[in-house]
Amino acid sequence: MIGEKRCYDILKSALKYALSRRPDFVDFLLMSWDSSVTRVANSQIHQNVYETEATLAVDVIHNLRIGSASTSVLTEESIHRAIDVAFEATLHKAQLPNPLKLDAFTRGTKSGRFFESTARSTPQDRAKVIQALIQKANQSNLMVSAKFHTGIGEIAVANNMETLAYSSFTDANFSAILKGEYDSSYASVASPDFRSIDFEKFAEDLIGKCKLQNRAAQDLFAGKKAGQEIFYDVILEPAAVAEWIDLVSFCGFNGLTYLEEESFMHGKLGQRVMGENIEIWDDGMDPGGYVLPFDFEGTPKSKVPFVERGVAKNVAFDGLLASKANSRSTGHSLGAGQRHHGAFPLNLFVGGGDQSLDYMIASSEDPTIYVTRFHYTNVADVKNVVLTGMTKDGTFLVQNGEIVSPLVNLRYLQSVLAALNHVEMLSDPVLVHDPDIYGALMPSCSVVPAMKIQNVRFIGSSSS
């Protein structure tokens, strides 16, 4: 880690140099992380890696033209060169339609979720957890592949509107795939606090699911003609739900897609867009997730509802998008160098219910497909959030209240917006987190329930 004091020193020095050139606006995003990963293949630890990295990004707005640059070499010379490149870039850009508009600013150090138990965790600590999983898996003749990540991150922002803020956080994330004779099963668990994770229960649940795959998988598309579709109710584990919700957010809650009229929220604020049992919001301050006290422009985080009882409420804006929409930033800026992607939530929550996964299975009399997670998901239609992808690592047929067979992985083509109008059951939400989904260690997450959804469309299998 760079440390709080040096982060402030770097930003103050960079600001001083940039302001000497009299820009209309300049801001900096400084990110640093120490990341350790232990990887397992064929039930053996084969890799322990550690990296420490830092990057400084700068945006300059001058005469309504924006230029960006970044550097991972934090010397004064390199930082000055990056600032010069950003200024030079403003000479070659088209004018922005509106100036950037910020109404709230963060100053000083803001607490993230930082735990010494995670910061001080060692390769031996990770190996001990992995060894316990391998030993349990060996007793059931299962092969283990796994990734155990622990890390420390820090984020600091500064601009010429007196924003100067810093926060730090920790992360522990364990994901594993068990391979049996017929197929594989997946699970993951994450927390900023290494000590809070129940690794024993994690192993027991994962092994229990893999034991369900004790026979050759059934292919629901066997004998079907090319192009034939099938429709089933589905039970989605939180990992599968999180992937769908993240893409709903990217396509629909992003203020850029909203203003470009590509979002399903466009023209629908105040109207019902999902089922009445669906609540979705973002809250970077909720300790139930990963805390991110301010966005990358320095706007303080707060709870922002996007869907309440199925009704569209808000979209995510940063300073540029807020100015264009004659609104206010909602605290969802991606910051220097990333504004062209728009603005979207990084700490999503979905309201839950009181039906457990076990109850969803036990109450399913008709044939229902149980999905652990999705794979190779892509957006086929942004406006309707039509996604396509494959199920992976634990797909089962449920009937008469029990899991009756593993299934060959299925390809789906489904409007998630339509699916969220047909959610029959919701469980308690749990935290789902990919530590490096954005390339850097980020305190981003989804806190989502399992869902039972009616009438989902499948168009093929991995065998068809």
Q: Give the tens place of pLDDT for each residue, 271-313.
A: 999 999 999 999 999 999 999 999 999 999 999 999 999 999 9
Question: Is the predicted pLDDT of residue 438 greater than 60, yes or no?
Answer: no
Return the percentage of the chain with pLDDT > 70, whole number. 99
Distance CA 180, CA 212 (A): 10
pLDDT band at 205 (very low <50, low <70, confident <90, very high): very high
Q: What pairs with residue 159 in β-bridges?
A: 27
Question: What is the C-alpha to C-alpha distance for residues 464 and 458, in angstroms, rounded to an integer?
Answer: 12
Confidence tier at 104 by pLDDT (50, 70, 90): confident
Helix axes 4-19, 76-90, angle to 10 degrees: 40
Q: Where residue 181 falls among pLDDT bands split at 50, 70, 90?
A: confident
Q: What is the pLDDT of residue 434?
A: 75
417's CB contacts (< 8 A; 6+ apart) are 248, 252, 264, 273, 274, 384, 385
State the average pLDDT over residues 116-131.
95
Give 390-436 as a DSSP string.
EEEEEEEEEETTEEEEEB--EEEEEEHHHHTTSEEEE---EEE--TT
Supply the pTM of this predicted model. 0.95
> What confidence tier does 437 reach under pLDDT thresholds 50, 70, 90?
low
d(CA 391, CA 379): 15
User: What beta strand segments (E) does 222-381 contain?
Assistant: 230-236, 280-282, 304-308, 311-312, 347-350, 368-381
The number of beta carbons lying within 10 Å of the beta carbon of residue 201 is 10
pLDDT tens figures, 338-394:
999 999 999 999 999 999 999 999 999 999 999 999 999 999 999 999 999 999 999
Confidence at residue 435, expressed as pLDDT on a 0 to 100 scale: 65
Task: Tell me the three state secondary structure of residue 286.
Answer: coil
Residue 106: which of 160, 29, 158, 154 has the closest Cα? 158
- Sequence-distant (≥ 6) Cβ neighbours of residue 136 within 8 angstroms: 203, 204, 207
3-state secondary structure of 79: helix
DSSP 8-state class, residue 263: S
Residue 439 has a pLDDT of 60
Q: Is CATH 3.30.2290.10 the classification given to domain 4-211?
A: yes
Work out the average pLDDT over 389-408.
96
Any residues with CB less than 8 A from the CB of 57 and at least 6 apart, and which? 28, 29, 68, 69, 70, 335, 336, 337, 338
List, by residue range, all CATH 3.30.2290.10 domains of the chain. 4-211
Count of alpha carbons within 13 Å of 40, Cβ hemisphere only? 26
Give the tens place of pLDDT for each residue, 235-280: 999 999 999 999 999 999 999 999 999 999 999 999 999 999 999 9
